[in-house]
Amino acid sequence: MMKDNNEEMFPIVDEEGNITGAATRGECHNGSKLLHPVVHLHVFNSRGELYLQKRPDWKDIQPGKWDTAVGGHIDLGESVEMALKREVREELGITDFTPVRLTHYVFESNREKELVFAHKTVYDGPINPSEEVADGRFWPIEEIKANLGKEIFTPNFENEFNKVLLENLSTDKV
């Protein structure tokens, strides 16, 4: 069975993304609240449905829950754009997409603190999830809304859906 590499090195950043140090995945996910950067990509199809991935049971954070289409850590020495392209290719096999940056914000759980750089794209091509993804499919927005608060989704996805995506949907920016 696969597992996360707790020795993988992540940059430690301030709330604007400036690197202030480095720490291992294990140190970042052990309750230390060391702020580390991540990228998210919300993949919509032309019908307005949102692709979600199901996290594998071996993940160290939120195993088995539905989550943002693509989410991953920015490696030490990587830019936001480099990490986004790498994570999208690694997780979904997509190489030809146009990301639109939505926002960046700090997300904090009981185990970690992340600086999230959230993006979206509209994509109707083939999606080939890797072994990093347990399952994936497009969800109608109403189905997502009907399942909020039922512990089906990760808290981070629900937070971002409510605070970022719904605002974009209501202003027809998706």
How much is the pTM? 0.91
How far is residue 153 from each of residues 19, 20, 37, 66, 126, measured CA to CA in Å?
A: 30, 32, 21, 5, 24
Ordered alpha helix ranges (H), 40-131: 80-92
User: Which band of pLDDT confidence, cut at 50, 70 and 90, is reported for residue 7?
Assistant: confident
Cβ proximity of 106 and 113 under 8 Å:
yes
140-158 average pLDDT score:
96
Task: Say what the pLDDT of residue 73 is.
Answer: 93
Dist. CA 109–CA 143, nearest whole Å: 25
Domains of the chain, with CATH numbers? Answer: 9-170 (3.90.79.10)
